[in-house]
Structure 1
Amino acid sequence: MTTPGVGGERPQSPAPATRRRLVRHAVRRAALNITVLVALYYVLPLRGALDPAAILLLVVGLLAFAVLAGWQLRSILRSRYPAVRAIEALALSIPLFLILFASTYFLMSRTGAGTFTEPMNRTDALYFTVTVFATVGFGDIAPKSESVRIVTMVQMLADLLVLGLLIRAVLSAVERGQRRKTAPPETPEAAPETRRP
């Protein structure tokens, strides 16, 4: 690989072996991020029912998600390998987003028997969250109470943002990062030459 800016040469893409190593590393980190998030979801205590503090936690979590997404977009733009960085970014952002809603649904299901069509454990709440995210809605678990329907609608709208805006922004950042990486280096304006005698 050539060094950018040396002799006016463009940087070349990494060798196939290097590319495979980078992708393997990104996939391992992505799998680790997903595993840690899911483990935390099952291990962290989610006690009691949904109350204003839990709603506040969801709102703060979604704000933290937005900040994380913005930070990841910047890191993709600045990355030497933007496509690899994008894999890691999406593998952290989307599971975090899903787990925020799954935790909320789990807490809401504990408020009473009338919130969902059936009682839910953590796996059921995660299953419901993923079916809403994937827009398949199997119908075996459905929101019954007005408050759960409102949170589900919020998730549906947020899903559209994540699927539409976040993924598009990540792909755009990858494209811009790759263009930046392959653009010819900027040369400083030529200073007038001084001839030596």
Structure 2
Amino acid sequence: MTSGSGSKPQGRARPSVRRILWTVARAVGSATVLVTLYYLLPLDHSSTASTVTMLVVGLAGFVALVAAQVRSIIRSAHPGLRAVEALATSIPYFLLLFAASYVALAALSPESFDEPLSHSDALYFTVTVFSTVGFGDITAKTETARLVVTVQMLADLVILGLAVKVVVSAVRRGQKRQKRTAEASRKEAGDEGR
């Protein structure tokens, strides 16, 4: 069903294949840019102050990113599709932020972990902590490293619990907003026909 102007479909129209492909391309592009930056940045030449600043500012940036994505989901014509894109951007950002912190920490204090960490090692370690698998092949040895890993584990719980719940709630709110808009359009069209 279309509105009187014939421009936008009303109600819960499915996204077009083109829209889905564009969303997938943007999500893959965002993740690719983040991973490329992670591997190109000279994280193993950081100071303690820059490492702490990177983690704190990065976490604040993550909160701001999720807040902006929630607003975008609510306003989107396709909230479910927008939520998938939001998760495909925010989760890699979160994981790469902690991996970057581990690379910097291992370079600053080689005894922080039981082995030297390359960018790939740190990413692997971050994902095992995030997924709660924790193989034990890489372990934090110093108090500082253990505190950073603890922060990640607590943040993981927030991500897995609260952030996913917020995104799902935003999808539902967006769908309700679409339904109200469609009903108002139908009512308006009905009033004009009289």
Q: What is the TM-score of this pair, normalised by structure 1? A: 0.85
CA distance in structure 1 between the partners assigned to 2:111 and 2:41 by the alignment: 25
Matching of residue 138 in structure 1 with residue 135 in structure 2: yes
Task: Give the counterpart of 2:71 among 52, 68, 74.
Answer: 74
Q: Distance in 2 between matches of 1:137 and 1:65?
A: 24
Considering only CA atoms, is the larger Rg found in Structure 1 or Structure 2?
1
CA RMSD after TM alignment:
2.1
Deviation, 1:19, is: 3.3
- Kindly state the Cα deviation for residue 50 of structure 1 after the two structures are TM-superposed: 4.8
Match of 1:178 in 2: 175
Percent of residue pairs bearing the same amino acid type: 48
Which whole-Å deviations, capped at 9, do the CAs of 1:152-174 have from their partners, x for residues lacking one?
00000001111111111111101
Count of residue pairs the alignment pairs up: 183
| Equivalent AA in structure 2 for residue 13 of structure 1 | R
| 2:13 matched residue in structure 1 | 14
Displacement of 1:25: 1.7
**More deviation in 109-118 or 128-137?**
109-118
The structural deviation recorded for 1:52 is 2.2
Corresponding residue number in structure 2 for 1:64: 61
4+ residue runs over 3 A deviation: none
* Cα distance, 1:176 vs structure 2: 1.1
Higher helix proportion (structure 1 or 2): 2
Deviations 1:100-154, CA, capped at 9 Å, x for gaps:
1000000111123321111110000000001111110011001011100000000
Pair 1:101-2:93 in alignment: no
Q: SS at the partner of 1:11?
A: coil
Q: Of 160, 164, 184, which aligns to 1:163?
A: 160
Any gaps of 5 or more consecutive residues in structure 1?
A: 189-197
